[in-house]
A and B are shown apart, each in its own frame.
Chain A
Amino acid sequence: MKKSDSGNGQERGLSRRQFLGNTLKTVCGVGLVGMGLGFYARQADSLPPMAIRPPGAIPEEDFLGACIRCGLCVRDCPYDILKLGQLGDDVPTGTPYFTARTGPCEMCEDIPCVPVCPTNALDHNLTDIREARMGLAVVVDQETCIAFLGLRCEVCFNVCPVRGDAITLELQHNDRSGKHALFIPVVHSEACTGCGLCEKACILEEAAIKIFPNHLAKGELGGHYRLGWKEKEKAGKSLVTPDLEHRYNLPEGVRYELQGEGLIIEQGQGAGEVPFSTNPLDTLNRGLEDK
């Protein structure tokens, strides 16, 4: 073997050095390409907040390793809401998304987009569309949402497919008119699937209720955080100092109830002892009679 190597003459010796040099060059070049790709990938991997992944999508960082960009989910969406990111879009190339304002998820009972996913980028364990968490609706603008202006709208409440659970209407006093209620839409994350039907339906020029990815929409308590009243409920008693009843220094026949009733004047003590009359005029006139 050795002989045949050297038999090829100097060319062989030269080409060995060349070979090493060329290999090194190639490796360096490819390495640089790799670094470039790596950095580009980190940049390209940031999904814009208005692009919502299909139901069952696993967390974004895992999704980008799982989605092979085949577009089968796009094809099986009966409402044709899903698109694949294209080069030049903000969405990572080839990955599926929808835009709630223009085409929200219609929440099909059989979720046809999920079982076709060949790589579980859309989790096949999702069988109840109500368990989907594509994002979370947020009432982003209380200044323009007409419910906050005291007008009856409730469109988001009414189109919600999880009606009454994901969005509820909370009545508040209308300070401006003084005699009406505000019907304030409130989103509940334990029921909202992030389908986006509310954002689509919002009657404003620019929706006041929007779907955001969960990590943008939700806060998170510190892991060490304990809610005193819940801990107390769990333990059946206060966990710090024992509860002492508050003592009020009030005139005889008068007591105070913290839980709502407020000042209570005991009737049994006789009308004469009551500090205030039921008729305010009596109180004002008191003393005048004596003079």
Chain B
Amino acid sequence: MMAKQTAVGAEAVAAKGWFKAHKWLILRRVSQLSLLALFVVSPYLVDRLERETWLVKGNLASSVTLDVLPLTDPHVLLQAVLAGVEPHRDAIIGVILVIAFYLLVGGRVYCSWVCPVNMVTDAAAWLRRKLGISTPSQLPRVTRYWMLGLTLVLPLVTGSIVWELVNPVSMLFRGIVFGLGMAWVLVLGVFLFDLLVSRDGWCGRLCPVGAFYSLLGSRSQLRVVAANREACDDCMDCYAVCPESRIIKPVLKGAETGVGPVILSSNCTNCGRCIDVCAVDVFQFGSRNAIDQVKTTSVTGAGARQRTGA
């Protein structure tokens, strides 16, 4: 691998301007922060300004928007059901709505557009790049699915939602809305783990919430598409910023192997950072059906030849 002359994303900034080179990142931060802000501000509106209706109340585990719209987190509700709970009607409606949303836009959109820990781990990844820390990770990326299994087995065995006692994801969001307590220690732990121990260690290898959402969105419509992959100039910036960097290469370099240009991996968080950071605009958001058009062309081309050849 060649040593990089310029900072990651510098070429994109030079080519597209700062705002275009940070467009999706800014939108994601706006999404994450405004979600938090809504939950934080609502009680003040009710208390201080004596508004009748709540904008939103609750937290990501379960919330009610404008006193009518229930939304419930499927992972935590599943744990409760495994612990022996019969959820109330509103919770079931809320879960169906959430599942439908993520089935459409991609499960791990939760990770990059909603989850507050994402800001922490993104910060760790950024600092890691700045400081040039490159500790090899011993943690396989499948560990998260084992963790997911664990979060589902524990309520079965103990009858208690054990994972929520330590889950940094729910704890940080709830903490900001209701009071943090010592939860900042856990969040700091996640930050340091990602910074010093393992690249993308929490989100990419351990977090069972992300694992759950990745399974949820494995057939989702909205995908990142390397539509313009012939233009790739191998600057490697997308690999550097992608929290799931392994998923890019097969697609980006798929023209030779017959892989379509759509990133189908359920681990893609649809964060759009690769779109931002690419100076030649290889990537864009698109539908998974984009695969049909391109796959047919490429499979009949080089890919089909290679398969028959093997």
Contacts and interface: CB of A to CB of B under 8 A. Distances in A.
Interface of A: 3-4, 7, 22-23, 26-27, 29-31, 33-34, 37-38, 40-42, 44-45, 61-62, 64-72, 74-76, 83-89, 92-94, 116-121, 124
Q: Which of under 10, 10 to 19, 20 to 34, or 35 or more describes the interface residues of B?
A: 35 or more
Given A84-B178, A93-B171, A66 B58 contact: no
B64 A37 contact: no
B60 to A, nearest CB: 8
Contacts, number: 168
B197 to A, nearest CB: 13
A191 to B, nearest CB: 29
Interface stretch (B14-22, B80-88, B212-220, B224-232): B80-88
A87 B182 contact: yes
Interface stretch (B107-115, B158-166, B285-293): B158-166
Contacts of B185: 87
B55 to A, nearest CB: 11
Contact of B186 (A68, A74, A87): A87
Contacts of B177: 71
Given A62-B84, A66-B85, A68-B164, A118 B178 contact: no
Contact of A117 (B88, B140, B150): B88
A62 B166 CA distance: 19
Contacts of A72: 57-58, 62-64
Interface stretch (B69-77, B97-105, B268-276): B69-77
B59 A71 contact: yes
A119 B77 contact: yes
A88 B149 CA distance: 26
B154 A34 contact: yes
Shortest Cβ-Cβ A-B pairs, 4 listed? A86-B181, A65-B83, A88-B182, A118-B91
20 contacts: A3-B310, A30-B143, A30-B149, A31-B150, A37-B166, A41-B160, A65-B80, A66-B84, A66-B85, A69-B164, A69-B174, A71-B57, A72-B58, A74-B178, A84-B179, A85-B181, A87-B182, A93-B165, A119-B87, A120-B88
A34 B72 CA distance: 25
